[in-house]
Structure 1
Amino acid sequence: MEDANQDILDNITALVGEERDLRERSTRQMGLSDSERARLKAVEVRLDQCWDLLRQRRAKTEYGEDPGEARVRPADEVENYQS
C-alpha cells in the first residue's frame, strides 16, 4: 500500500511543478492565455483531489481500514471543503 501512497505523492510533486511553472509564466508574461488559465485551474483541482485521496488513505490506515478503499472524490466536493 505504501507504493500507492508514493505514486500519489509523485503525482502531487509533478502537479506542484507544473503549477509553479504556470504561475512563473504568468508573472513573466503579465498573464496567461485562456488555455493556460484553464490548465492552471485543472492542476489546482487535481492537486486538491490528490491531497484528499492521500488523507483518506492515511486515515484508513490509521484506523485499521483498507486504504485501497479510498476513492478520488469529485472536484466539486473537494473544492468546496471548508478549512
Structure 2
Amino acid sequence: MDQQRTEGGTDRRILERISEMVEAERGLRAALAAGRIDQSTEHRELKDIEEQLDQCWDLLRQRRARVDVGEDPDGASVRSADEVERYES
C-alpha cells in the first residue's frame, strides 16, 4: 500500500477524531474551571476521552506499521481499551 492511502481518508478521519477529543478535553477543563461541572464529572469524562484517544493512536500506529511492512492498513482493528492500556504500561 502506498503512503498516500494511509494519509488519505481513513487516517485523516482518525486524526480528525483525535483533534475532536483533544478539544473535548480542553472543554472539560474549561467547564471545570468555570464551575459548570464538578471535579468527579470532569474526571469521569476525561477518563473516557483518554481511553478513546489511546485507542485511536493505537489504531493509527497499527495502520502505519502495516503499511511499513507492505500490508493493507485496513486490516488493522480497534483494540479494547484494556488491551491498549496493557501495551502502554
Same fold (TM over 0.5): yes
Aligned residue for 2:19? 13
Q: Would you identify which runs of 4 or more consecutive aligned residues in structure 1 move more than 3 Å?
A: 33-36
Give the superposed CA RMSD: 2.0
Tell me, in whole angstroms, the C-alpha distance in 1 between the residues paired with 2:66 and 2:29.
34
Unaligned runs of 5+ in 2: none
Shift of 1:3: 0.5
2:63 is aligned with 1:47: no
> Per the alignment, in what secondary structure is the counterpart of residue 78 of structure 2?
coil
- 1:17-66 deviations in Å (ceiling 9; x for gaps): 0011112323343x735444322111010000000000100110111011
Q: Output the amino acid matched with 2:15.
A: L
% identical aligned pairs: 46
Aligned residue for 2:43? 37
User: Is the 8 Å Cα contact of residues 29 and 42 (structure 2) preserved in structure 1?
Assistant: no
Unaligned runs of 5+ in 1: none
Q: TM-score scaled by structure 2? A: 0.79
Q: TM-score scaled by structure 1? A: 0.84
Q: Output the amino acid matched with 2:76.
A: A
| Number of residue equivalences | 82
Shift of 1:78: 1.1
